[in-house]
Amino acid sequence: MIIKCSKCNKSLEESEFDKRKTSKSGYSPWCKDCRRAYSRKYSSERRKNDPGYLVKLKLSKAKHLRSEKGRQKRREYRQLEKVKEQEKEYGRQYYYANKEKRLKTASDWFKKHPDKRKIYNRSFYDKVKNDPLYRLSQRLRRLIKIACRKKGLIKRKSTFKLLGFTPMDVFNALKQYLDKPCIICGVVIIDILSSSSHLDHIIPISVAKTMEDIIRLNQLSNLRLICRTCNIKKSDNY
């Protein structure tokens, strides 16, 4: 059905008109564009002249947000890829901008819940101690985090998303060094679960200047396991 808008006089499809039960045709006499333009103008004028109007708008917005319809709308909106990415970015910015506050909140929480802290620490250290995969990925994560901090870079993705491989890939690539003598000193036996073995960057990660450098230097071909002593010596000499 084609309807003529009584405001702009354009003949348009019925989908361009809001439904209105009380009118004869079943549709609003003005097209959607005209109605929108009018309410925008009306609203901006009222905002200027009627201070109570702002309060009213605020209340009706809050009511809408609480309603089931509003909630559903928001859920849908937050599912959009673009919005998800944006929210993540805000989160990151907040994370770095409020470092002190974050640390204080966390330490306050742990002070209030000493038992939970114990459980948390124990489970973390148990995992690091007993799970070779987790231990390796945790070390890689830590080394990258430190490198980023030193260069003032912000890591915007999770470590393994950034690097493009999995903890299992790291393990497979480093398997060859396990239970053999350190390839530098030939003395210490490399044991993945011992603190005497270190994850080493053949070209040191300290030469990285950009995020791309960090990614490049953390590819599997630049990683190896050597003993702690050799690793410490090496970083002193480089």
Site residues for Zn ion per CB under 5 A: 5, 7-8, 31, 34, 182, 184-185, 227, 230
Q: In terms of CB distance, is 8 or 146 closer to Zn ion? A: 8
Q: Which is nearer to Zn ion, 18 or 126 (CB)?
A: 18
- Residues 110 and 102: their CA atoms lie apart, in Å, by 12
Residue 154: phi and psi, rounded to 5, are -110, 125
Distance in angstroms (rounded) separating the CA atoms of residues 155 and 163 = 11
To Zn ion, the closest distance from the beta carbon of 161 in angstroms equals: 32
Residue number with CB closer to Zn ion (34 or 174): 34
Please tell me the distance from the alpha carbon of residue 68 to that of residue 169, in angstroms, as a whole number.
46
The nearest distance, CB 185 to Zn ion, in angstroms, is 3
Nearest distance from C-beta of residue 1 to Zn ion, angstroms: 16
**Least Å distance between CB 20 and Zn ion?**
14
Taking CA atoms, 196 is separated from 4, 99, 106, 188, 192, in Å, by 83, 33, 31, 8, 9
DSSP, res 175: G
Q: Is the separation of the CB atoms in 147 and 214 below 8 Å?
A: yes
Residue number, 41 or 104, with CB nearest to Zn ion: 41
